[in-house]
Amino acid sequence: MEGKCFGSLMMLLVFSPVVLAQSEGLQIGFYSSSCPQAEPIVKSTVQAHFSADPSIAPGLLRLHFHDCFVQGCDGSVLIAGTSTERSALPNLGLRGFDVIDDAKAQLEASCPGVVSCADILALAARDAVDLSGSPSWNVPTGRRDGRVSSSSGVSSLPSPLDSIAIQRQKFVAKGLDDHDLVTLVGAHTIGQTDCLFFRYRLYNFTTTGNADPSITQSFLTQLRALCPNNGNGSKRVALDIDSQMDFDVNFFKNVRDGKGILESDQRLYGDSNTRRIVDNYAGNIRGLLGVRFNFEFPKAMVKMSSTEVKTGNQGEIRRVCSKLN
Ligand code: HEM
Ligand SMILES: *[C@@H]1O[C@H](CO)[C@@H](O)[C@H](O)[C@H]1NC(C)=O
Ligand SMILES: *[C@@H]1O[C@H](CO)[C@@H](O)[C@H](O)[C@H]1NC(C)=O
């Protein structure tokens, strides 16, 4: 939180550090004596890449999520190869590998063989969100790197076509409930998607020539202009239209107002339980409810970041993040 200026009393009350001493065998400050520079090195590396290209922040956040949902948060998404997670379709658009490699190289120079790639991912995701304007939080560390990475594992990742029932099922499988689901998908307050992932909603969605009826009419016109029917499917569109650089609650307002981009995002408003959570975050009181999301997001991240982690003498500490030792 240092370096940021928060004005109101409300914020002072809510932004106390998230206190979570231990989580699944992880602990805050795991490297405080073995490699005290670990967290500052990750932070300065993320900062340097962010200065050159701020769109790296959403890239790093998504990279950590995709790591955690397959084989747990164990760096398995980083392994290069022809049949690894990284090579599988849902992971082809992942970005930020170079940032992790850069941080790892510096860490190996300072404290060889100590800091796991899985922890670098978790720390980098936190620092990326911090740089995008949300308060920082303590990341429990001590993850070990996995020794398995297979393209067949990626079926546990959610797809933008998933119904709420399927989204819920995939999150429950990771120990995450509806509150976590809605809160974590709030990550779509930053970053972009290819037209390809949602264009089918704009044209002939029902196979009767109509668009997805959950899209607000004025927004449909806007989206059709951004993604013409036979246009370039790789064109990028903000997941949180009008506010893609800020880690704020605008994403939830958009979902409430029929301006969700991905079908899976808009579906959060079609189920009574997830809708209630979206409404809570979207709110009407400017600022106040944004604070609530900013407080809940770190808690949900700490939970997701602890998914099926390897600790103690499990796995290994990789020397190069893209290769098993
Ligand atoms: C139901 C759950 C989810 C689905 C179906 C989903 C799907 C997607 C899709 C299709 C994209 C666009 C990818 C592209 O075009 O390159 C995307 C982007 C993104 N997702 Fe998710 N996502 C989900 C949950 C999450 C969670 C839990 C996080 C993090 C905590 C997250 C973080 C991001 C970020 C930051 C981006 C932007 C990436 C960029 O700009 O490079 N997503 N997501
Ligand atoms: C919509 O899709 C259906 C089924 O694929 C197809 O038969 C129909 O011709 C399409 N209509 C338009 C307007 O593209
Ligand atoms: C499609 O859009 C992407 C992203 O903006 C761009 O890199 C690519 O060159 C475009 N392709 C064509 C054929 O225009």
pLDDT tens figures, 162-187: 999 999 999 999 999 999 999 999 99
For residue 312, being part of any structural domain is answered with: no
Can you give the pLDDT at residue 269?
Answer: 97
| Residues 234/235/241/242 CA torsion (nearest 10 deg) | 150
Q: What's the structural domain count of the chain? A: 1
Tell whether residue 74 is among the known ligand binding residues: yes
Report which protein residue has its CA nearest ligand 1's atom 22: 185
**Ligand 3 atom nearest to CA at 233:** 1
Alpha carbon distance 301, 93 (integer Å): 21
Res 188 pLDDT > 90: yes
For residue 53, being part of any structural domain is answered with: no
Averaged pLDDT, 275-299: 80
| Centre of ligand 3 from the C-alpha of residue 231, in Å | 10
For residue 229, being part of any structural domain is answered with: yes
pLDDT tier, 135 (very low <50, low <70, confident <90, very high otherwise) = confident
pLDDT tier, 8 (very low <50, low <70, confident <90, very high otherwise) = very low
For residue 81, being part of any structural domain is answered with: no
Can you give the pLDDT at residue 19?
Answer: 42
Alpha carbon distance 256, 162 (integer Å): 19
| Centre of ligand 2 from the C-alpha of residue 161, in Å | 19
Q: Which ligand is nearest to the CA of 304?
A: 1
Can you give the pLDDT at residue 207?
Answer: 82
For residue 171, being part of any structural domain is answered with: no
Alpha carbon distance 108, 117 (integer Å): 11
pLDDT tier, 206 (very low <50, low <70, confident <90, very high otherwise) = confident
Res 274 pLDDT > 60: yes
List all residues 6 or more positions away from 100 whose beta carbon is below 8 Å from its beta carbon: 63, 78, 117, 120, 121, 124, 321
Q: Are strands 192-194 and 22-23 parallel, antiparallel or unpaired?
A: unpaired
Catalytic residue, from 49, 64, 66, 179: name it: 66
> In Å, how far are 12, 55, 124 from 51, measured between CA atoms?
28, 10, 14
Res 51 pLDDT > 60: yes
Can you give the pLDDT at residue 23?
Answer: 61
Average pLDDT, the chain: 91
Tokens of 111: 């404290």
Determine which of 21-30, 54-63, 198-207, 304-313 has the lowest per-residue pLDDT on average.
Answer: 21-30
**Ligand 1 atom nearest to CA at 236:** 15
Res 222 pLDDT > 80: yes
Res 13 pLDDT > 90: no
For residue 289, being part of any structural domain is answered with: yes
pTM over 0.85: yes
Give the Cβ contact number of residue 183 at 10 Å: 25
Report which protein residue has its CA nearest ligand 1's atom 30: 184
Percentage of the chain beyond pLDDT 70 is 90
Domain that holds residue 202: 179-300
For residue 197, being part of any structural domain is answered with: yes
Averaged pLDDT, 298-322: 97
Q: Is the CB of 264 under 6 A from ligand 1?
A: yes
Averaged pLDDT, 70-90: 97
Tell whether residue 179 is among the known ligand binding residues: no
In 3D space, the residue among 313, 296, 305, 322 whose CA is nearest the CA of residue 24 turns out to be 305
Higher pLDDT, residue 130 or 25: 130
**Residue 66 and residue 158 in contact, taking contact as beta carbons nearer than 8 Å:** no
Can you give the pLDDT at residue 288?
Answer: 54
| Centre of ligand 3 from the C-alpha of residue 235, in Å | 6
Q: Which ligand is nearest to the CA of 208?
A: 2
316 three-class SS: strand
Per-residue pLDDT tens digits for 148-162: 999 999 999 999 999
Alpha carbon distance 34, 165 (integer Å): 44
Averaged pLDDT, 213-232: 96
Tokens of 110: 């300072």
- Catalytic-residue membership of 64: no
Q: Is the CB of 75 under 6 A from ligand 1?
A: no
pLDDT tier, 290 (very low <50, low <70, confident <90, very high otherwise) = low
Can you give the pLDDT at residue 289?
Answer: 52
CATH (domain of 283): 1.10.420.10
Amino acid (one-letter) located at 6: F
**Ligand 3 atom nearest to CA at 232:** 1
Instruction: Please state the separation of Cα 143 from the chain's center in Å.
Output: 18
Res 128 pLDDT > 90: yes
For residue 249, being part of any structural domain is answered with: yes
